[in-house]
Chains A and B, each alone.
Chain A
Amino acid sequence: SQQGEEDPQALSIQEGENATMNCSYKTSINNLQWYRQNSGRGLVHLILIRSNEREKHSGRLRVTLDTSKKSSSLLITASRAADTASYFCAARNSGNTPLVFGKGTRLSVIA
């Protein structure tokens, strides 16, 4: 069963705009991670946020975590056409369990 569920399923924006993707999860987590997948390729890790962190930045990426609402968001600022990809959140439950992925958000950035 999915631990993370992304919203929206698809998002289309103009180059230069910000893109926000949301992720909700079901149970207590150890950490939450975001991955990117270009068409036909494997997933690439973007950022990890631990359960005791509320916000994290990496370049144009900003991730927030609200454990009371069991939700996270990924913000990509000043988007570029090269940001076009699918984005997945993945959560790791407390304990010794592997990451469970959501179904992803397909982001299209139009030049």
Chain B
Amino acid sequence: DAEITQSPRHKITETGRQVTLACHQTWNHNNMFWYRQDLGHGLRLIHYSYGVQDTNKGEVSDGYSVSRSNTEDLPLTLESAASSQTSVYFCASSVGTGGTGELFFGEGSRLTVL
């Protein structure tokens, strides 16, 4: 079955370290998204991509970067992790133009920055 997987599921890191969260989908979806979920804030969009070589900033993109070199993967990099980036991160994908359809979510990556 097609799926979307995130790794690692749990990570603890130290302030200032670079961290990369992986997201891989096997649906061949054009659109991929990264959200973070924090208590009291719901889900907030970090970065998104509507196709290979396309990336766009979301609402809370500072301190994060993404690259889209193929259809299946959209890794999220924290260049220099900060305690404020402790959160649960969700990757999602969708088919269609401009992300019009339903989103399929991964199971999340819980990141703790000490």
Contact = CB atoms under 8 A, between A and B. Distances in A.
Contacts of A35: 103
B69 to A, nearest CB: 20
Given A88-B42, A88-B43, A99 B103 contact: yes
B51 interface: no
What bracket does the count of chain B residues touching chain A fall in? 20 to 34
Contacts of A95: 98
Contacts of A52: none
Contacts, number: 59
Interface string B12-50: 000000000000000000010101000011111100101
Interface residues of A, number: 26
B59 interface: yes
A9 to B, nearest CB: 10
Interface of A: 1-2, 30-31, 33, 35, 40-45, 48, 88, 90, 92, 95-104
